[in-house]
Structure 1
């Protein structure tokens, strides 16, 4: 009798646990929702900056209606939602997936543009970024990747509505990369590595011809050649410098120039 009671008790416990599991099982509120309903709700969540929930709903839409009219748009919105939530890796993965699946989509140019934005990390607005952040503090690898992404858009879709803004960003990124190289050349000069400084500055001349950083790059070359005793190269570079920048701040007279140089480089 005691053995039977134990069996009954164990059975009741199992039934109780099973019942608890059934009642605690999460109900899928989206079950039976139409594609239109899913897309509308997801877009509302996205607009409200509830990115995780928006992504869940877009993914539900894509899996439930993979061949519907909203599926491709949902894929694009997933990439955008990841971008806005600052999940760079997931955002880039979503962009690449869309481009691979839909290379001829009418709005694929936007995905190329978004790829550039993700790398650019445009979280505070383009104009604020230009005027407030020191370009030399940016990761040069990320800068190069952002430039390459925008360039691909411009090359593939020259008439895209996103091309003018991409060109503006490319110009900024070129200046950022050139400024970073000047920063490095200045670093070498301060530490007495004059040949390295001159070579780095020469690289700026070759790679970033239209950048404002060329002015300081030339001046670094002049100072480096002077330190190295390469007077002919120094004088040739000085002639080029004066021809192109006759009113340069680096050519101030006497001690003013030295003070400017000292403050800038120390």
Structure 2
């Protein structure tokens, strides 16, 4: 029932937002009056009204005393109005027009915040959604934008918060890669799973997901029959992450059950009637079918053609001109 109520509230809010008319700003207002009314709208959390007045202020008085401040506060108003794309666009415009502004670090910070909250809509705030299983595009953008802020303005007042958010985002991105690797394991795409696990180990050090990445590598290499790589990865896992969920009493336990590649007849008869032999590691039914077709085609070649091909090959070798020595070429063949 609670979910239904939340969906109803979201629908009503969306309907009200779509049906609201665009505010008309009085054309007779001076620059100071526009700015004052915009500040009052921001204080009252009337972000639509604040956005309208800030845009009017910027367009009517582009070189006024409040023009730059209006552009900066427009970023904040769009962000608080849950319009991440508009907030990022406003931030990029301010950074491009005022790269030396004393508060340009605030524009970088708001740009990162807009991407940070882009996937956290109304439902995500109330429902237990796992953010590590969602598209990481906005999280990756937010991480890169916070990284720009901390690298260009390390002494900014917003840098400490940006660094903490970067730690969270890095852990989230690493966990997402682990989910993708487990998906590949369930689909028996062991090479792709091993590559994802190695990517986590190489690019997300000091995150909680590194141990899971090593476990995925061990499981994938075992399924592929690469015993040396599996053993090396397992030793690294035991040494650095002895409490990993894949280790039980020091022994590795795969998280995904090995795929049952038996035929339907073998499964129905509980293995009493085996129509196909088990597949070797790394092979598939499709690859075996291709090899079988090649062998059948080779066996179907008539023996006469094989003998004729052998005779032609011998005749070709016999008729081939012999290689002459340098002495024969020098004497024009008189002493061959």
Q: Do these two structures clear the TM 0.5 threshold for a shared fold by scoring above it?
A: yes
**DSSP 3-state at the match of 1:249:** coil
1:33-83 per-position Cα deviation (integer Å, ceiling 9, x unaligned) = 333322121111122222221111112222333223211111111111111
Which residues of 2 match residues 61-76 of structure 1 at below 5 A?
61-76=57-72
Give the equivalent residue in structure 1 for 2:73: 77
Tell me how far apart the structure 2 counterparts of residues 255 and 226 of structure 1 sit (CA, whole Å).
14
Tell me how far apart the structure 1 counterparts of residues 199 and 252 of structure 2 sit (CA, whole Å).
28
Matched, 1:142 2:142: no
Tell me how far apart the structure 2 counterparts of residues 243 and 85 of structure 1 sit (CA, whole Å).
49
Give the equivalent residue in structure 1 for 2:82: 86
Which residues of 2 match residues 63-212 of structure 1 at below 5 A?
63-121=59-117, 133-212=129-208
The change in CA–CA distance for 1:202 and 1:190 in structure 2 (over 3 A counts) is same
Q: Any stretches of 5+ residues in structure 2 without a counterpart?
A: 1-23, 258-336
Tell me how far apart the structure 1 counterparts of residues 256 and 180 of structure 2 sit (CA, whole Å).
17
**DSSP 3-state at the match of 2:65:** coil
Alpha-carbon deviation of 1:262? 5.8
Matched, 1:246 2:237: no
Give the equivalent residue in structure 2 for 1:225: 221
Matched, 1:60 2:53: no
Alpha-carbon deviation of 1:124? 6.4
Give the equivalent residue in structure 2 for 1:37: 33
**TM-score of the superposition, structure 1-length normalised?**
0.79
Tell me how far apart the structure 1 counterparts of residues 25 and 160 of structure 2 sit (CA, whole Å).
43
Alpha-carbon deviation of 1:208? 0.9
Tell me how far apart the structure 2 counterparts of residues 211 and 75 of structure 1 sit (CA, whole Å).
38
Alpha-carbon deviation of 1:86? 1.7
**DSSP 3-state at the match of 1:143:** helix
Question: Higher relative contact order at CA 8 Å, sep ≥6: structure 1 or structure 2?
Answer: 1
Larger Rg: 2
Aligned length: 231
**TM-score of the superposition, structure 2-length normalised?**
0.63
Give the equivalent residue in structure 2 for 1:12: none
Tell me how far apart the structure 2 counterparts of residues 105 and 71 of structure 1 sit (CA, whole Å).
13
The answer to whether the Cα contact below 8 Å between 2:119 and 2:138 also exists between their aligned partners in 1 is no
